[in-house]
Amino acid sequence: MKVALLQFCASVDKAANLSNALALSQEALGKGAQFILLPEVFNFRGDTRNKEILAQATEKIPGPSVNAFIPLAKKYRASFLLGSILEKAASDSRAYNTSVFINSRGTITAKYRKIHLFDARIGDKIIREADCFKAGRQLTTVKIGEFRMGLSVCYDLRFPGLYQDYARRGVEILTAPSCFTKKTGEAHWEALLRARAIENLSYVLAPNQVGTDVRGMHAYGHSMIISPWGEIIARGSGDAQEIVFGDINIEEVRKARQILPGIIK
């Protein structure tokens, strides 16, 4: 299966972000991509601590940002992982940070709400996602072709138990759409991605944002496709919008798990 990770710098302009994501998707489809993955908060990246801004950024699912990709999925018989959208939560001013999977028939077949919310001090900036986001509670798996896939988002990467639970559920692909910061990314991004692949003998697909947002937060880029053996199949740059392509094969998962049959229990 040919996969494509979309790496770009989203802004506070939802219409422009969506237009850019659709254009990159069309380019990836034109080059034969069968599964396209977008980064975390692909349609809005801004200061969600402001409740008015957050309210304007949130959507119901399905909503306009999700619905825009359904015709492409149907036309090209391709699947999409919309890395994350700020999902309107009922009876709460906060939002869910939600990853959405659209299958090759254009049907929304899975939705994952980010469980682990980012809490960090980056230089003089404090980030506490729990102030504006609600945590999800459930793991989400979904079939794509011959694979079973487990969904996660960004900061989840630091919690290996989540991925071990996925592996015990028979998952062969782990997705980690992100807006990983440059400071933490330089130290930990590759190490975490490769560790999650190695520990679970699974592919890891991780589209990341790049560039600086209106808050002055710099995203690390370096979107990656990691093999079940922990090898980097493809990697993006740290400073540019681009599409990262790679091929994945279920046989590579089976080979890795034959070599180390006792890893997943």
Q: How much is the average pLDDT of 233-250?
A: 98
User: Between β-strands 125-128 and 133-134, what pairing exists: parallel, antiparallel or unpaired?
Assistant: unpaired
Question: Could you state, in order of their start, the residue ranges of all structural domains in the chain?
Answer: 2-259
CATH for 2-259, among 3.60.110.10, 3.40.50.620, 3.40.309.10, 3.30.470.10?
Answer: 3.60.110.10
Q: What percent of the chain has pLDDT over 70?
A: 97
Nearest of 207, 217, 244, 57 to residue 123 by alpha carbon? 217
Q: For residues 113 and 150, what is the distance between their CA atoms, to the nearest angstrom? A: 12
Q: Using the predicted structure, report yes or no on whether residue 75 has a pLDDT greater than 80.
A: yes
Q: How much is the average pLDDT of 205-213?
A: 97
- Residue 135 has a pLDDT of 92
Q: For residues 103 and 217, what is the distance between their CA atoms, to the nearest angstrom? A: 33
- Residue 265 has a pLDDT of 78
In tens, the pLDDT along 112-163 reads: 999 998 776 666 666 677 778 899 999 999 999 999 999 999 999 999 999 9
In tens, the pLDDT along 7-36 reads: 999 999 999 999 999 999 999 999 999 999
Catalytic amino acids? 40, 114, 154
200 torsion bin: left (phi>0), alpha (psi -120 to 50), beta (else):
alpha
How far CA 22 is from CA of 65, 71, 164, 179, in Å, comes to: 10, 11, 33, 19
Tokens of 7: 């790496």
Write the single-letter amino acid at 80.
Answer: F
- Residue 55 has a pLDDT of 86
